[in-house]
Amino acid sequence: MAATLLVSPPILLKFVIIILYIFLISTPSSSSDLFLNFYQTSCPGAEFMIKNTVRSASNNDPTIPGKLLRLLFHDCIVEGCDGSVLLDGNQTEKSDPANTSLGGFSVVEAAKELLEFFCPSTVSCADIITLAARDAVEISGGPSVAVPTGRRDGKVSLASNVRPNMVDTSFTMDQMTQLFTSKGLSLDDLVVLSGAHTIGAAHCNAFSDRFQENAKGKLTLADKSLDKVFASELMKQCPASASSSITVNNDPGTSFVFDNQYYKNLIAHKGLFQSDSVLFSDARTKKLVEELSDNQDTFFQKWGDSFVRLSNVGVKTGDEGEIRRSCNVINQ
**Which are the catalytic amino acids?**
74
Residues 200-259 that bind Ca ion (CB under 5 A): 251, 254, 257, 259
Which of the listed partners (ligand HEM, Ca ion, none) does 75 bind, with a CB threshold of 5 to 8 Å by partner kind?
Answer: Ca ion
Residues 239-298 that bind ligand HEM (CB under 6 A): 250, 273, 275
Q: To the nearest 10°, the Cα dihedral for 39, 45, 49, 50?
A: 20
* Stretch 23-62: interaction string toward Ca ion, x if CB under 5 A: ----------------------------------------
Distance, CA of 326 to CA of 114 (rounded, Å): 11
153 binds Ca ion (CB under 5 A): no
In the complex, the smallest distance separating the C-beta of residue 48 from Ca ion, rounded to whole angstroms, is 25
> Does the annotation flag 259 for ligand binding?
yes
Which of the listed partners (ligand HEM, Ca ion, none) does 105 bind, with a CB threshold of 5 to 8 Å by partner kind?
Answer: none
List C-alpha distances in Å: 40 to 74, 146, 293, 304. 28, 14, 37, 21
* Stretch 201-240: interaction string toward ligand HEM, x if CB under 6 A: xxx--x----------------------------------
Residue 242 near residue 204 (C-beta atoms within 8 A): yes
Length of the chain, in residues: 332
Binding site for Ca ion (CB under 5 A): 75, 78-79, 82, 84, 198, 251, 254, 257, 259, 261
Binding site for ligand HEM (CB under 6 A): 63, 66-67, 69-70, 73, 101, 103, 167-169, 176, 190, 193-194, 196-197, 199-203, 206, 250, 273, 275
Question: Can you say which residues are annotated as belonging to the binding site for Ca(2+)?
Answer: 75, 78, 80, 82, 84, 93, 198, 251, 254, 259
